[in-house]
Amino acid sequence: MMVSTKGRYALTVMVDLARNGGEGFVSLADIAERQQLSMKYLESIISVLNKGGMLQSLRGKNGGYRLTRKPADYSINEILLLTEGTLAPVNCIMQDGIHCEKAATCSTLPLWAGLDGIIEKYLSNITLEDIIEGNRRKMLGEYCDQCESS
């Protein structure tokens, strides 16, 4: 599994909105400036997030974007799935099941299916709120004991 720039930037936008939005709208220009990201690229990402129902938009002088829910109600898994399409570690395992003509005889399929389940469980358990609160213990969790000291 490799999260693309699109997925990483979508998460960055969502975190920025969670930190800076409050009840108001945040302009894309402000997000781009704070995060030092291209406005043009952010426009395409914002479009995906908006169409996916994660954001509310408002046009005009005081317009911009804001979250449609509380930060605690957004899992990292749903944000990345919206922008990436899949987080599966291999092509034969997709969101809607296993698609492989060799599935019945594939000796490594259980490995990949297990890894896919761990990725989904891990990312589903972390929210935007966890990120903005800096909940390192939850983000590192049981998956990275050696990371606790960093």
- d(Cα 25, Cα 66) in Å, to the nearest integer? 5
Delimiting residues of CATH 1.10.10.10 domain(s) in the chain: 5-67
| pTM beyond 0.85, yes or no | yes
- The pLDDT of residue 21 is 83
- The average pLDDT across 37-64 equals 94
- The average pLDDT across 10-30 equals 93
Highest mean pLDDT range out of 76-80, 92-96, 106-110? Answer: 76-80
CATH fold of 5-67: Arc Repressor Mutant, subunit A (1.10.10)
Question: What confidence tier does 104 reach under pLDDT thresholds 50, 70, 90?
Answer: confident
- d(Cα 66, Cα 58) in Å, to the nearest integer? 9
The backbone torsions φ and ψ at residue 28, rounded to the nearest 5 degrees and listed phi first, read -65, -35
- The average pLDDT across 98-116 equals 85
Name every residue whose Cβ is closer than 8 Å to that of residue 74 and which is 6 or more positions away in sequence: 14, 18, 54, 67, 127, 128
- The pLDDT of residue 44 is 95
- CA nearest to 118, candidates 150, 91, 93: 93
